[in-house]
A = this chain, B = another copy of it.
């Protein structure tokens, strides 16, 4: 019996020859392609921490969070100007104004910006402001969007779809690569699976980290915020991701201690800058330990 659409890891050389480790012999078996965004390096020695608000809501809020995450050790700023929301009646993001606010936050803090683009017609505009384009989970197989992102020449953060196989995910990355753009960072963010929703939003699939590394030379990071959906779980999920070999984290942070308004979306998963500091310290000691272990092995 044959099943339509059934593919497996052995099909990857055909599905994504441009990014398959098995097809590209010039890339060393251990090596990760380093994707550079400003002074940030994905796939280098140190895992990258991206942090920021879920949505850009105002200049004040964005600057406050940007300063706080920089102080906590983040190297890059996230924030949504265009928000994919379950209902069209929910807050959809500030759009162009949000991009301008992000640019202002970059000017202030020096942190490069990653922000989501959902519409192929807006890739050019978003590229004018952002240092890195984010393709969200809902759009992982939005191929016209992936092609425009590829053409933009900007580094792309490609989130895994909520029920995407590894083959589908790497196939999506190949759409970007086919336009001549290999500056792709993959991002695991949790699967929809039973019993997600009982105690966490999704099920974080950390086994995909070594699986990705086995199949492609592209760096891969983790979004613990959407994976868990619960602020109190973000620190343990972040540490687990780093221990799994993730090349970085993208984390939602809110500053709510100063009488600020509650975030307009996903408030339940935003952590405080203090918790972010803990995560950065975990990374610090993780790197030291890895370095010591390598020195010991030599």
Contacts and interface: CB of A to CB of B under 8 A. Distances in A.
Interface of A: 1-9, 14-17, 84-89, 118-121, 138-145, 162-168, 171, 174-175, 178, 191-201, 203-211, 214, 225-230, 232-233, 236-237, 239-245, 266-269, 281-282, 285, 289, 293
Contact of A171 (B87, B201, B267, B285): B87
Nearest to A2: B268
A199 to B, nearest CB: 4
A197 B199 contact: no
A121 B4 CA distance: 30
Contact of A228 (B17, B178, B196, B207): B207
- The winner among A87, A164, A282 for most chain B CB atoms within 10 A is A87
Contact of A210 (B2, B162, B233): B233
B239 A243 contact: yes
A218 B242 CA distance: 26
Contacts of A143: 84-85, 88, 118
B269 A4 contact: yes
A197 B8 CA distance: 9
B236 A211 contact: no
A289 B226 CA distance: 27
A205 B9 CA distance: 23
Given A3-B201, A141-B138, A194-B193, A89 B207 contact: no
A217 to B, nearest CB: 17
A117 to B, nearest CB: 10
A75 to B, nearest CB: 21
A197 B3 contact: yes
Contacts of A210: 232-233, 236
A212 to B, nearest CB: 9
Contacts of A240: 206, 240-241, 243-244
A198 B9 contact: yes
A6 B197 contact: yes
Contacts of A164: 195
B118 A206 contact: no
A90 B205 CA distance: 28
Given A3-B269, A203-B207, 20 more contacts: A3-B199, A3-B200, A3-B268, A4-B201, A8-B198, A14-B87, A86-B171, A88-B171, A88-B174, A121-B121, A139-B142, A142-B142, A163-B163, A193-B203, A195-B197, A206-B206, A207-B227, A207-B230, A236-B245, A240-B240
Nearest to A136: B141
B163 A192 contact: yes
